[in-house]
Amino acid sequence: MKKMKLKFLAGAIAGAVLCISSGSAMAQSTVTLFGLVSLALTKSTGSSTGIDTTGFGNGFGFKGSEELGGGLEAFFHLETRFDADTGKAKPTFFDEKSIVGLRGGFGTVQLGRSANPFDAAKGKGDPFGETVANIGNESLLGEDKHNNSIYYLSPQVGGASFGVSTAAKETAASNISGTAYVRRPFAANFNYINGPLDMGVGYVRNGANTSNSATISGNYDLSVAKLYAGYTRSSEIAAGAGKASNGEFGVSVPLGAGDLKAAYSRTKNLNQADGTTADTLSKVGLGYWYRLSKRTMLFTDVARNTSKSGATKTNGNAFDLGILHTF
């Protein structure tokens, strides 16, 4: 009798384990911890040499998904940023991304804070991202993230896809700029990927001010080199307010275990009341990024800036030497 009870108990436990395993297999839930840490020795004109957080950013996050059946999947993505040189966190904890949504044959729908479609298109033409050699003047060229947003990304058909997003017009504390939206923001893009070609067209209507921005950007992989180019223009609706434009092109060439990169950009800011006098910023960047492994990279960049405001011309240099590790 005792043996029978033990056999029954063992069978019950085994059955429960099988049921749990079966349910888990059907649900296919996954959660991943990920992140990156990057620091560099930096020096620029007018500042002392220091150890500084790089343009790659430093952060970590959690992302996961659950298969719901019929090709439908639920997902989330929470990502924070911090300064690795001091350990200081950003005021908004999940500043980089905080979204939840559904995806399937219809495309992807997500809610929360994230980069918008305009940002996704604009980034295709920049080989440097945001190191000291980054090209362009990001502060002039449209909002790249929105809080309280709803974002739709279509499925890719023949290499083509599109994305649209808007956001709720809420209180100042809820908005990315820390000030109340003066209007409801909107962003959209069209993307096309075909073999070595990756290009995008994007538009954003800012929420925190009355500026609109449009961009066309892309890259082409020749195997022996990857070419980048882009143009972005921002305009103010308010009378007498400034306009801005940025043109950029660059190249990345495989060299050994890394990539040799070069780029040039010119930003023009019509910020004068007459709408004709321009401030300009020209920038040349050069860098070499060396991969020690799939997760670890050494990099160094140099940049030369030339800014002109009226009759005043100013030159500046910048340098970084750093390490990036992802997990």
Q: Does residue 14 lie in a domain region? A: no
Q: Does residue 7 lie in a domain region? A: no
- Provide the residue range defining the domain that includes 311: 42-326
Q: What is the pLDDT of residue 269?
A: 77
Q: Does residue 4 lie in a domain region? A: no
Q: Does residue 16 lie in a domain region? A: no
Q: Does residue 239 lie in a domain region? A: yes
- The number of folded domains in the chain is 1
Q: What is the pLDDT of residue 20?
A: 40
CA distance 31 to 22: 18
Q: What is the pLDDT of residue 252?
A: 97
pLDDT tens string, the chain, 327 residues long: the values are: 444 433 433 443 344 433 444 444 455 789 999 999 999 999 999 888 999 887 788 999 999 999 999 999 999 999 999 999 999 998 889 989 999 999 999 999 999 999 999 999 988 998 987 788 886 555 556 788 888 899 999 999 999 999 999 998 766 555 555 567 788 899 999 999 999 999 999 999 988 777 889 999 999 999 999 999 999 988 865 545 567 888 999 999 999 999 999 999 998 876 554 555 568 889 999 999 999 999 999 999 999 999 888 778 899 999 999 999 999
Q: Does residue 35 lie in a domain region? A: no
Cross-strand partners of 42: 50, 320
Q: Is residue 22 exposed (0-12), middle (13-18) or buried (19+ Cβ within 10 Å)?
A: exposed
pTM, full prediction? 0.83
Q: Does residue 11 lie in a domain region? A: no
Q: What is the pLDDT of residue 320?
A: 93
Q: What is the pLDDT of residue 70?
A: 95
Q: What is the pLDDT of residue 244?
A: 81
CATH code: domain of residue 123: 2.40.160.10
Q: What is the pLDDT of residue 188?
A: 97
Q: Give which of 97, 104, 125, 101 is closest to 202, Cα–Cα.
A: 125
Q: Does residue 55 lie in a domain region? A: yes
Q: What is the pLDDT of residue 136?
A: 58
